[in-house]
Amino acid sequence: MPAPPHAFAYALSSNQAWAGYKGHQNPDFFPKLASGQSPAILWLGCSDSRCPETVILGLQPGDVFVHRNIANIISPTDINTSAVIEYAVTHLKVKHVVLCGHSSCGGAAAALGDARVGGVLDTWLTPLKALRNANREELNSITDDKQRAVRIAELNVEAGVAVLMANAAIQDAIAERGLQVHGTLFDIGSGRIRDLGFGTGKGGPHGFVGAGDTDVVRGKHAMLVFRTDGAGMSVR
């Protein structure tokens, strides 16, 4: 659906309607949000407008701490990403760190091509270009352009999870309180998230997989349940 001509004015009006609806539905919702946050999930994703984490997880404001950038690249030297990870893991004590790539990623497509994007974007996409070069034979064997882009997106998540698993704050939290790290891919065409099996748990095609326990993230209208055989959503 295309944005209306006056997109910002429409967004403000929509916000007023949303806030009014949420406040009427649950008068304690915003006062409780204002009192503090205790999210269970740190979501590291792409800035793509089609990948709004709280929406696609079926959760609510306050449930997910978020960092997004172009092509969900996790670099150990990026102080922005590192600060978010440290705050979420060390201070908010999230239970899950989720790195999520996605299909139809513009950054992945750019990395597969030889043309320059221009400006700082070429520098930012260097890790993806390196992945392409390191996996050139496999990627060239995939004849479908969309599938090739999905494959490099998967490789990017795998590389990002490796960086996360080497992060000192994450290592301490895994050892001390069982923090779980998940590498996933969001399929824009179906709206579903696929666990790629990278991180602390054993992955599968059905959702986030924990390390042998059951964990519940509670939103206002639903519960997202992490368990050994996948994840499920129940409405309440």
HEC readout, the chain: CCCCCCHHHHHHHHHHHHHHHHHHHCCCHHHHHHCCCCCCEEEEEECCCCCCHHHHHCCCCCCEEEEEEHHHCCCCCCHHHHHHHHHHHHHCCCCEEEEEEECCCHHHHHHHCCCCCCCHHHHHCHHHHHHHHHCHHHHHCCCCHHHHHHHHHHHHHHHHHHHHHCCHHHHHHHHHHCCEEEEEEEECCCCEEEEEEEECCCCCCCCCECCCCCEEEECCCEEEEEECCEEEEEEC
Tokens standing for 229? 């055989």
Side chain identity at 14, as an amino acid letter?
S
Residues 6 or more apart in contact with residue 216 via CB below 8 angstroms: 223, 224, 225, 226
Instruction: Give the model's pLDDT for residue 201.
Output: 77
Work out the average pLDDT over 47-71.
98
Phi, psi of 104 (to 5 degrees): 55, 35
Half-sphere exposure in the Cβ direction for 188 (13 Å, CA): 16
Residue 27 confidence (pLDDT) above 50:
yes
Side chain identity at 203, as an amino acid letter?
G
Instruction: Give the model's pLDDT for residue 225.
Output: 56
**pTM of the full structure:** 0.86
Per domain, the residue ranges of the chain are 39-49+56-207
By annotation, the residues acting in catalysis are 46, 48, 50, 102, 105
Q: How confident is the prediction for the chain on average, in pLDDT?
A: 89
**Mind listing the pLDDT tens digit for each residue in 123-175?**
999 999 999 999 999 999 999 999 999 999 999 999 999 999 999 999 999 99
Instruction: Give the model's pLDDT for residue 20.
Output: 98
Tokens standing for 128? 């993806």
CB 236 within 8 A of CB 229: no
Going by pLDDT thresholds of 50, 70 and 90, the confidence category of residue 2 is low
Instruction: Give the model's pLDDT for residue 224.
Output: 54
Secondary-structure class of domain 39-49+56-207 per CATH: alpha beta
Residue 225 to residue 93: CA distance in whole angstroms: 18
